Amino acid sequence: MRGMTDRPIKVLIAKPGLDGHDRGAKVLARGLRDEGFEVVYTGLRQTPDMIVTAALQEDVDVVGLSILSGAHMTLLPKICALMRERGMDDVLVTAGGIIPDQDVPDLKRAGVAAVFGPGTTIAQVADFLRANVRPRD
């Protein structure tokens, strides 16, 4: 799954901002574990700095951001910028939740590799991660 190493892809799933609904994030975390990924879930109400610090400490390959609050255009670009500042350009950033289609191009320009909306299957997310995670040593 990792190319030259045997280490599974490690994913951090985070809920930025004041969004209090995390069922989807928990379902995704469990589903990705079932798919063979190593998953860390940070819990609710995480600040951008908390998320980036956790991603750095956990040495993850992917940061998956679950957001339903409508604050995605503020929080997600800030997280991507903090990751770049901390030299984490090789970490894949994805987002899921309720994000209007018209916001997706701006999020991608900010550094979000993919946005998964309602109805996306665990298998679709897993396939995207396997195809797009950059090998890291």
Domain 10-132 in CATH 3.40.50.280: yes
Q: Which two tokens stand for residue 12?
A: 């951090």
Measured distance CA(116)–CA(78) in Å, rounded? 19
Share of the chain above pLDDT 90, in %: 82
Over residues 14-65, the pLDDT tens digits come to: 999 887 888 889 999 999 999 999 999 998 999 999 999 999 999 999 999 9
- Predicted confidence band at 1 (pLDDT cuts at 50, 70, 90)? very low
3-class SS string, 26-87: HHHHHHHHHCCCEEEECCCCECHHHHHHHHHHHCCCEEEEEECCCCHHHHHHHHHHHHHHCC
Does the pLDDT at position 101 exceed 80? Answer: yes
Indicate whether 94 pLDDT > 60: yes
Q: Where do the structural domains in the chain lie, given as residue ranges?
A: 10-132
What phi, psi does 40 have (nearest 5°)?
A: -115, 125
